[in-house]
Amino acid sequence: MPEWTARSLAMVRQIRWRLDTAPWPQLAASRFFRSTWDRCPEDDRTHVLAQLAWAARHCTTLVPADGEGMRYAARLHRDAQLRAEPRIMPGPRPSVEDQLKAALILAASERTAALSTHEAPERALPVILDAADQAPGPVLDRWAALPEPTRAAAMSHLAWTARRAAAPHEPTDTAGRLAHWLRDEAQLWEDHIRRLGRVGQFRAPLAQIGECALSVQLEAAVRLLTAGRTGTLPPSPYMCGCCGYDRALTVVRQPTPSGPPRARLLCEMCVLLGDASVDPSPHTADRTAASPRGRARPPTARE
């Protein structure tokens, strides 16, 4: 799975939010927007296209267009539908201008599908409430049975209600980082629509949520629900991130390929054994990166 950079995530956010102010052909013709795209490194542009294609894979059709940009968007869309997780499609790429058109077509298609067939978050909220109350039964199976857009819509709703919650505790696990990131995204969205003087609905990026394990999604949703009720995001569980021990833990900060170091709770034995520097592959998703406010970016892998 690719390692998304902070720059590519910021560019995805910019594309998605700019579509609330102008149609995609107008953005494609904007000199300012094209210069912003041109200044992006090639790897970041590739990551942006992969993320947008993955988010649009649920669309049955793409917005009508023609030219090389449309053909490239269709190729990315078909490739994303055939994969179980986001990947960077190999092969030749069109010009930078056509890549921008493909990115805008994919983002516009995902936005149109979400607005026309919005999944009511009420379908997922009973599952989240049962998980918060630790109700007996296969709660995780019920969560997995929900369509991915429905889960994303529920988490978007909870993040919006928790956008003003305090976060006095640094997250030290994947679910905590996902909950913090969604709250931060909702805050950024609120600032965005306030500057525009418009009313809009916050939609969390489907690609980033879908890359997290179902158990991580459900736990993050429960923490956002708690934050909306109490006004404070709950802390991560006090347990070692490697072995699960819950005594004499130390916060260890590990470097990441993009952004500030991430924090993990480790016991003394795991630190002595070197687990502080060698992160097991199931936890490689617990990475963070700087956002425009210097906050965390989402963990984007399965646990």
* pLDDT band, very low/low/confident/very high, at 163 (cuts 50, 70, 90): very high
Lowest mean pLDDT among 7-11, 218-222, 288-292: 288-292
For residue 120, what pLDDT is reported? 65
Average pLDDT rounded to a whole number, residues 87-101 = 85
Residues of the chain with pLDDT > 70, as a percent, come to: 83
Phi (first) and psi of residue 121, to 5 degrees:
-65, -15
Half-sphere CA count of 289, side-chain side, radius 13 A: 15
CA 183 to chain centroid: 11
* Number of C-beta neighbours around residue 60 at 10 A: 7
Ranges of beta strands (E only) in the chain are 249-254, 262-267
What pairs with residue 249 in β-bridges?
Answer: 267
Q: What does the alpha-carbon distance between residue 151 and residue 213 come to, in Å, rounded to a whole number?
A: 12
Average pLDDT rounded to a whole number, residues 268-292 = 50
Helix (H), strand (E) counts: the chain = 13, 2
Q: What does the alpha-carbon distance between residue 15 and residue 170 come to, in Å, rounded to a whole number?
A: 29
Q: What are the CA-CA distances from residue 282 to residues 38, 149, 201, 273, 286 (Å)? A: 35, 24, 33, 18, 9
Question: What pTM does this model have?
Answer: 0.71
Average pLDDT rounded to a whole number, residues 17-32 = 86
Q: What does the alpha-carbon distance between residue 175 and residue 216 come to, in Å, rounded to a whole number?
A: 5
Q: What are the CA-CA distances from residue 150 to residues 25, 43, 145 (Å)? A: 29, 31, 10
Average pLDDT rounded to a whole number, residues 196-203 = 74
For residue 149, what pLDDT is reported? 79
* pLDDT band, very low/low/confident/very high, at 234 (cuts 50, 70, 90): very high
Q: Above 80 in pLDDT, residue 53?
A: yes
What does the pLDDT look like over 172-196, one tens digit per residue? 888 999 999 899 989 888 888 787 7
Q: What does the alpha-carbon distance between residue 173 and residue 267 come to, in Å, rounded to a whole number?
A: 14
Q: How many residues does the chain have?
A: 303
